Structure 1
Amino acid sequence: MSAEQDLSGRLALVTGAGRGIGAAVVTALAERGARVLATDVDAAGIEAVAAKEPDRIVPRVLDVTDPAAVESAVAEAEETLGPLDIAVNVAGVLRGAPVVRLTDADWAAVFAVNTDGVFHVSRSVARRMAARGRGSIVTVASNAAGIPRSGMAAYAASKAAAVMFTKCLGLEVAAQGVRCNTVSPGSTLTDMQRALWEASPGGARAGERSVIEGDLAAHRTGIPLGRLAEPSDVADAVAFLVSDRARHITLHDLYVDGGATLRA
């Protein structure tokens, strides 16, 4: 590992760390030497992740929709573990339905995690990072933020809001040495993706084939690289952006989707 990738001595906060992309991000940062505060509403999930590297990973239950809980967790982390150098917003939920059947409750629930949660965490850590003159914040969004998807209006809109929020924050804190970027994955082999396939006609196998090959009837392109992402593919992109190799990158949205959106 090059010195620019080394995260030794740095403290990171990761939300949505109990499984999928969040768990992969925790592992990627810990493998590069960071100490990681792994947070999630799923206590069992983060305990399992922390058990892999107990010397580097500290689990903490956290609901990102609760601004007081977020502020308390960040303050406690800085008091007991040290100043946060890195924050990665991964916590996210998906409730899919055509807009005409989308309920107020589902719309609110998606935005509460995917957008409000990003705001709560980023505001809290950015305030402290800016005062110290250093830090890196990465929000894991989605390529759905950049291209319309049927049945995913709430999710896509919430992720688009998170992307623009992160860019605006990055503009505001750039002069204080804090970098803010987003990573936008495409279809990735997570529990969320598998749940979508299981609900689709033909089941998981047909759903996976449709994602890779494309579906003209659903106005969806396939994946030019011919494979779905692994959570580690997304985590490696995050690890790059928080490292010194990306020291001159901010306000950037990095698509990790195998070319699926044709960068629409």
Structure 2
Amino acid sequence: MSAAPELDGRLALVTGAGRGIGAAVAAALAARGARVVATDLAPGELPAAARPYAERITARALDVTDAAAVDTLVAETEESAGPIDIAVNVAGVLRGAPVAELTDADWAATFAVNTDGVMHVSRAVTRRMTARGRGSLVTVASNAAGIPRAGMAAYAASKAAAVMFTKCLGLEVAAHGVRCNTVSPGSTLTDMQRAMWTASGQDAETAARHIIEGDLTAHRTGIPLGRIADPSDIAEAVAFLVSDRARHITLHDLYVDGGATLRA
């Protein structure tokens, strides 16, 4: 007799689940038996990776920058589907520019999603988790939170803030049985990554090669493992951290970047 999937019966809330890493996370959790509320600003058809588990995934619209909307969705979810056991913050935006050219609007918009959104969702779900004495939360950040990147000051700063927020939250809720961790990806094959390549004027193959090989003029060391991550690589790390296999891990920042930052 085969064992039940490790997340069987658990309810997960995932933001930014319409594509890329968020969609991969939703699929990975559903594949392990979880019921998933997959939220996005404008959810559409389930991504291909998630379709085999469609019966376990419910798509909902959510603007994580709207604290009231977050509170409402979390309350409605718990009323209709039961207690949220797992929350994963994936929603994010990147507006790249040198600081001298960075607008106030771009800075504010970046923090509104990448930092404020993380706070809104995390606060809403952990309030309930602590009352129940259990739960796991993961924030998907970026290796840019730990190493400077030219042209990415707003993104890097917002992700660094999200990492430290999640760690501080984790410290506060640990005594209540709630674990909070972060996963920090490096370059990953997502629409965000492809948009950066388009903006640089490079074709995808050339841009990917430069990332893997490194670029001293951009102060990039390259990727020692010799490949760019697939969204599923990040999703597997998230799935581990929310599982009972990681029951004694909290306040941890797991880099999934093929060694690109040399863990600097």
- Which position in structure 1 is the counterpart of 2:155? 155
| C-alpha spacing 1:75/1:49, structure 2 compared with 1 (3 Å) | farther
Per mean C-alpha deviation after superposition, the further-off stretch among 46-55 and 107-116 is 46-55
Match of 1:34 in 2: 34
Q: SS at the partner of 1:94?
A: coil
Q: Report matched runs for 1:99-138 at 5 Å.
A: 99-138=99-138
SS of the equivalent of 2:168 reads helix
User: Is the 8 Å Cα contact of residues 65 and 116 (structure 1) preserved in structure 2?
Assistant: yes
Structure 1 pair 248/172, CA: closer, same or farther in 2 (3 Å)?
A: same
Using the alignment, how far apart are the partners of 1:45 and 1:216 within structure 2?
41
Separation of aligned partners in 2, 1:51 and 1:221: 37
Residues 68-125 of structure 1, C-alpha deviation per residue, up to 9 Å, x if partnerless? 0000000000000000000000000000000000000000000000000000000000
DSSP 3-state at the match of 2:200: coil
8 A contact 1:189–1:229 mirrored in 2: yes
State the partner residue of 1:57: 57
**1:181 partner amino acid:** N
Matches within 5 A, 1:82-231: 82-231=82-231
Query: 8 Å contact 1:50–1:59 — kept in the other structure?
Result: no
Deviation at 1:45, TM superposition (A): 4.8
Secondary structure, aligned partner of 1:58: strand
What letter is aligned with 2:118? V
| TM-score, normalisation: structure 1 | 0.96
Which range is displaced more, 7-16 or 40-49?
40-49
Show the counterpart of 2:23.
Answer: 23
Give yes or no for the alignment of 1:246 onto 2:255: no
Query: CA separation in 2, counterparts of 1:35 and 1:210?
Result: 39
Equivalents in 2 of 1:54, 1:200: separation in Å?
36
Structure 1: gaps of 5 or more residues:
none
Task: Note if contact 2:23-2:50 (Cα within 8 Å) is conserved in structure 1.
Answer: no
Question: 1:201, CA displacement in angstroms?
Answer: 4.3
Could you state the TM-score of these two structures normalised by the residue count of structure 2?
Answer: 0.96
Q: Percent identity?
A: 78
In structure 2, distance between residues paired with 1:216 and 1:259 = 16
Indicate the SS of the match to 1:55: helix
Aligned residue type for 2:39: T
Asked whether the equivalents of residues 19 and 47 of structure 2 are also in contact (C-alpha less than 8 Å), the reply is no
Whether the aligned pair in 2 keeps the contact of 1:17 and 1:46 (CA below 8 Å) is no
Alpha-carbon separation, structure 2, partners of 1:259 and 1:16? 25
Contact 2:212–2:223, Cα closer than 8 Å, also in 1: yes
* Cα contact 2:24–2:49 (8 A) shared by 1: no
Amino acid at match of 1:151: G
Task: Give the C-alpha shift of residue 202 in structure 1.
Answer: 3.2
**AA paired with 1:88?**
V
Change (3 A) 1:50 1:219: closer
Structure 2 unpaired stretches of 5+: none
Greater mean deviation of Cα atoms: 39-48 or 68-77? 39-48
Amino acid at match of 1:127: R
Q: Is this contact kept in 2: 1:194–1:204, CA < 8 A?
A: yes
What SS is found at the alignment partner of 2:44?
helix
| CA spacing shift, 1:178–1:186, aligned 2, 3 Å | same
Aligned residues: 263
